[in-house]
Structure 1
Amino acid sequence: MRRLGTGIGWRPEIADAVEGMPGIDWVEVVAENVCPGHLPESLLRLRERGVTVVPHGVSLGLGGADRPDEGRLTALAERAEVLGAPLVTEHIAFVRAGGALTASPQLEAGHLLPVPRTWDALGVLCENVRLAQSALPVPLALENIAALFSWPDEELTEGQFLSELVERTGVRLLIDVANLHTNHVNRGEDPVEALAALPVEAIAYVHVAGGFERDGVWHDSHAHPVPAPVLGILTDLASRTAPPGVLLERDDNFPEPVQLKEELEAIREAVGVGRARAAGRTRTVARTRTGAQRQTGARTRTVARTQKARRTPGGVGAGTAGTAPVTVVGTGTEETAAGTVVAARTERTPATTVTGARARIVPATAAGTRGAAGAGRPLDGVRERLGVAEAAVLSSLVAGTPVPEGFDRVRMGVQARALAAKRADVVAKVAPELPDILGAGYRPAFLAYARRRPMSGGYRRDALDFAGHLLATGLPRRAVARRSLQEWWLDRAGPAPRSHAPVARAARAARRVLLRRG
């Protein structure tokens, strides 16, 4: 596994700070936010200095019922190649549902939503991952996500789900310790148990981020300082394995560079404490093993002397080496007359075949019998069932349809409001003219619009649809603002903008200012 070191999420708002920050070994960039032919100058300079750049995708939706979109896979592959990335990363999530698979309108979440931890969903995810792996020029790593709600009737824990995914596909893992904390608060899942079940050898790198708690719900905001519990989980992970890379994520409410440096130093310190614990544990185990070996050697010599004294022609000692294999059941230990350690007999444990001093565990259940979508089993009908379930969940979150049976209605309401708020924030970033034109009325108007109108495409399309909706309903009321909004919409609603020239854009901006003053 390639060593990455300590990194930070590159964002345009902190590009200068990242460039000037000492000790940055690598950066991660949101794949959908960069264009292969027009990379930001800051990223180009970082690459020239030898800083590794990893593209982090957010739109594949590998946990969805549909097979991954070829266009999105091609775009992710292009970004990996142009950035010279050693790997690409994505999420274990679904981001859209509906469409041809379910004969219903396709819905976009605009965010990462949790997949059900069932054998069926695992089978679909694994097939989607294999398709993605075959289309990408570099290895793929997948991130565990933060969730505000749980699916009913789940069959696997997060650790089990991730372990099965790695075993079946060989995919690497991007472990977000902040998301483990989120799921601890929101879903009662123990991060220690999750870490204990993980195949740590598959970890490509680790995410660390901040958030906030409100009314008993943890929001993974990426806009707040990293809290102590998240650093504690990072220390626990580092005590189990040396993470190849650790990265600080910050997406909003960016602090001063000195604060970012302090957070990075806290992350390095947390990893250092974990590695020190691991080293101490290794020394303790080594001392214990040495003492046990001495005791075992002494016991073996005593047993051997006893056997030699008791050995008679044709007796037990003469036939020990040639005994046939015996099958015992259990996991405890007992010592036979010949000194061979075998499993103690217990009826509730897997069968163990013992030959001499060697034992082989035979699973009680044959491989391939687990779940409806077990390894190697065709997925006929599974995608359709998963698609219907995900479409029902997403429709309740973004289109106001009833919450499916078995889901926590309160948590689903929290998730719905969080999705609408995220849409409002992102639209304000991709189309900053809208909050400029609408002023304080932008956010309430957008949230009212989003409550019943799901995204029909990306965020830029969402911004255009929102402006068109306002104009169709006679908003905004002020004539000056309405004219400005109409001009903005007309400039973007056609097959091509009416003008691309910087001078023309500046003239339009000046005209808006004059209209406001008038």
Structure 2
Amino acid sequence: MERLGTGIGWRPEIADAVERMPGVDWVEVVAENTCPDHLPESLRRLRERGVTVVPHGVSLGLGGADRPDEHRLAALAERAGALGSPLVTEHIAFVRAGGPLTASPLLEAGHLLPVPRTRDALDVLCENVRIAQDSLPVPLAVENIAALIRWPDEEMTEGQFLYDLVDRTGVRLLIDVANLHTNRVNRGEDPAKALAELPVEAIAYVHVAGGLERDGVWHDSHAHPVPAEVLEVLSDLASRVAPPGVLLERDENFPEPAELERELAAIRRAVAAGAADTGRPFVPPARSAAPEVPGTTRQRVGLGQAAVLSSLVAGTPVPEGFDRVRMGVQARALASKRADVVAKVAPELPEILGGAYRPAFLAYAQERPMTGGYRRDALDFAERLLSEGRAGGGTPHRRLEKWWLDRAGATPRKSAVRRALARRR
């Protein structure tokens, strides 16, 4: 694995600052937010200077019960080619559940949810990782995620789960030390124990990010400064292996460039404080032809994930064995994130609705699980307000109606809503 050095997550809001920032060896971009045919000029300039760009996927759902979607895999492969990337990364998580496998409605989380650390879930994850590896032109690395909830009856620790995943697939690891800290607060898991159990020589690079604790729960916000506790986990990791790359993640609430530079300097100091002399080279295990995971195994995993996701986004009962309080915290966090992302993909909605946007969207989210992505969600939200007369009167209603009509396309539902609006008028 090539040495990456110190990097930062590239975001449009800080693109100019990243270009001018000293000591940035590489950047990471959200794969789904990058169009291969229309790369931002900032990324083009960084690449021309020799800065490595790595696409980081968030929607593949490798931990889900279904096999990876071939179109999503093709899109990830296309971005790796367009960016000249040495690897691509994704998450050990599920992001949707239900559908034909479980004979239940397909639901989307809009966020990364933890897979159970069971042998069934590991079998499914390993096969999904192999499918992804065979579809990508460069190596794949997968990331441990932060979790607010714990699955009952788990059979392995996180370190054991990751060790077996690497041993069976040869996949590389993207270790997020902020997520290890999150799981320490939320699940009582010791980061040092996880690091001691996992194959650190398989690490492709490391994520570092900030968050905040509220009411005894740590929220992995990517919108706050990196705390000392996370830097301590980074130093512990660096004492065990020299990480090929370390990257600072920040997704919103961006500070001044000088503050980001100070955080990068703190990250370098934390790695130096660990100071592992050498990193053992990672030699991927030989991949033998593995038997296909039985459909019954995928179905068992799928039924469990569908029950959890339906409880979180559709208000069905909390499955037996789960902490009801934590499930409630997770449900509210998902709804809040959903409102935030819809406001980003459709900024006209909060601009039109003003202070009424957020309470109206959260009320809508309680009644309407997401099933078609955030852009579809924005349209469905506006349609609900218009068809039920909740958009207010006068100018806001007219502006929202025009916005929706301009974007909804020529669909039968659009015609029905037109007629409903005409009847109201």
TM-score by length of 1: 0.76
Q: CA RMSD in A?
A: 1.2
Residues 1:440 and 2:335 aligned together: no
The one-letter code sitting in structure 2 at the alignment partner of 1:103 is A
Post-superposition offset of 1:378: 4.2
Change (3 A) 1:264 1:488: same
Task: Tell me the secondary structure at the aligned position of residue 334 of structure 2.
Answer: helix
Q: May I ask how many residue pairs the two structures share in their alignment? A: 400
Where in structure 2 are the equivalents of 1:290-301 lying within 5 Å?
none
Residue in structure 2 matched with residue 90 of structure 1 by the alignment: 90
Residue in structure 1 matched with residue 245 of structure 2 by the alignment: 245
Where in structure 2 are the equivalents of 1:56-67 lying within 5 Å?
56-67=56-67
Indicate if the aligned counterparts of 1:124 and 1:379 stay in contact, CA closer than 8 A: no
Where in structure 2 are the equivalents of 1:342-381 lying within 5 Å?
376=291, 378-381=293-296
Change (3 A) 1:495 1:49: farther
CA deviations 1:457-480 (Å, max 9, x no partner) are: 111111011000110110222221
Q: Residues of 2 paired with 1:410 and 1:148: CA distance? A: 10
Task: Tell me the secondary structure at the aligned position of residue 23 of structure 1.
Answer: coil
Post-superposition offset of 1:46: 0.4
CA deviations 1:432-482 (Å, max 9, x no partner) are: 000000000000000010112111211111101100011011022222100
Residues 1:452 and 2:367 aligned together: yes
Q: Residues of 2 paired with 1:231 and 1:95: CA distance? A: 28
Q: Residues of 2 paired with 1:478 and 1:222: CA distance? A: 38
Residues 1:467 and 2:382 aligned together: yes
Q: Residues of 2 paired with 1:72 and 1:445: CA distance? A: 32
Indicate if the aligned counterparts of 2:312 and 2:331 stay in contact, CA closer than 8 A: yes
CA deviations 1:227-262 (Å, max 9, x no partner) are: 000000000000000000000000000000000000
Task: Tell me the secondary structure at the aligned position of residue 451 of structure 1.
Answer: helix
Task: Tell me the secondary structure at the aligned position of residue 116 of structure 1.
Answer: coil
Q: Residues of 2 paired with 1:119 and 1:254: CA distance? A: 40
Residue in structure 1 matched with residue 165 of structure 2 by the alignment: 165
Q: Residues of 2 paired with 1:51 and 1:379: CA distance? A: 43
Residue in structure 2 matched with residue 313 of structure 1 by the alignment: none
Task: Tell me the secondary structure at the aligned position of residue 36 of structure 2.
Answer: coil
Query: Once superposed, which parts of structure 1, at least 4 consecutive aligned residues long, lie more than 6 Å away?
Result: none
Residue in structure 2 matched with residue 22 of structure 1 by the alignment: 22
Residues 1:393 and 2:301 aligned together: no
Residue in structure 2 matched with residue 73 of structure 1 by the alignment: 73
Task: Tell me the secondary structure at the aligned position of residue 153 of structure 1.
Answer: coil
Residue in structure 1 matched with residue 138 of structure 2 by the alignment: 138
The one-letter code sitting in structure 1 at the alignment partner of 2:155 is E
Question: How much identity, in percent, do the aligned residues show?
Answer: 79
Indicate if the aligned counterparts of 2:124 and 2:293 stay in contact, CA closer than 8 A: no
Residue in structure 2 matched with residue 101 of structure 1 by the alignment: 101
Q: Residues of 1 paired with 2:392 and 2:355: CA distance? A: 13
Residues 1:32 and 2:32 aligned together: yes
CA deviations 1:243-288 (Å, max 9, x no partner) are: 000000000000000000000000000000000xx459xxxxxxxx
Q: Residues of 2 paired with 1:89 and 1:398: CA distance? A: 27
Q: Residues of 2 paired with 1:386 and 1:378: CA distance? A: 11
Q: Residues of 2 paired with 1:130 and 1:452: CA distance? A: 37
Indicate if the aligned counterparts of 2:127 and 2:292 stay in contact, CA closer than 8 A: no
Change (3 A) 1:74 1:377: closer
> Structure 2: where are the runs of 5+ without partners?
279-289, 412-425
Q: Residues of 1 paired with 2:342 and 2:310: CA distance? A: 20
The one-letter code sitting in structure 2 at the alignment partner of 1:34 is T
Change (3 A) 1:470 1:194: same
Residue in structure 1 matched with residue 414 of structure 2 by the alignment: none
Residues 1:110 and 2:110 aligned together: yes
Identify which of 465, 470, 479 aligns with 2:394: 479
Task: Tell me the secondary structure at the aligned position of residue 59 of structure 1.
Answer: coil
Q: Which structure exhibits the higher relative contact order, with contacts defined as CA atoms closer than 8 Å and separated by 6 or more residues?
A: 2
Residue in structure 2 matched with residue 12 of structure 1 by the alignment: 12
Residue in structure 2 matched with residue 357 of structure 1 by the alignment: none
The one-letter code sitting in structure 1 at the alignment partner of 2:317 is P
Q: Residues of 1 paired with 2:49 and 2:196: CA distance? A: 38
Q: Residues of 2 paired with 1:413 and 1:466: CA distance? A: 23
Change (3 A) 1:104 1:239: same
Residues 1:418 and 2:333 aligned together: yes
Residue in structure 1 matched with residue 281 of structure 2 by the alignment: none
Larger Rg: 1
Residue in structure 2 matched with residue 199 of structure 1 by the alignment: 199
Q: Residues of 2 paired with 1:115 and 1:468: CA distance? A: 34
The one-letter code sitting in structure 2 at the alignment partner of 1:124 is V
Post-superposition offset of 1:380: 3.7
Q: Residues of 2 paired with 1:203 and 1:452: CA distance? A: 42
Indicate if the aligned counterparts of 2:59 and 2:95 stay in contact, CA closer than 8 A: yes
Residue in structure 2 matched with residue 336 of structure 1 by the alignment: none
Q: Residues of 2 paired with 1:452 and 1:153: CA distance? A: 31
Change (3 A) 1:187 1:85: same
Residue in structure 2 matched with residue 488 of structure 1 by the alignment: 403
Change (3 A) 1:137 1:484: same
Residue in structure 2 matched with residue 304 of structure 1 by the alignment: none
Residue in structure 2 matched with residue 283 of structure 1 by the alignment: none
Q: Residues of 1 paired with 2:52 and 2:277: CA distance? A: 29
Task: Tell me the secondary structure at the aligned position of residue 7 of structure 1.
Answer: strand
The one-letter code sitting in structure 2 at the alignment partner of 1:451 is Q
Indicate if the aligned counterparts of 2:36 and 2:82 stay in contact, CA closer than 8 A: yes
> Structure 1: where are the runs of 5+ without partners?
281-374, 497-518
CA deviations 1:165-220 (Å, max 9, x no partner) are: 00000000000000000000000000000000010110000000000000000000
Post-superposition offset of 1:104: 1.1
Identify which of 298, 304, 318 aligns with 1:383: 298
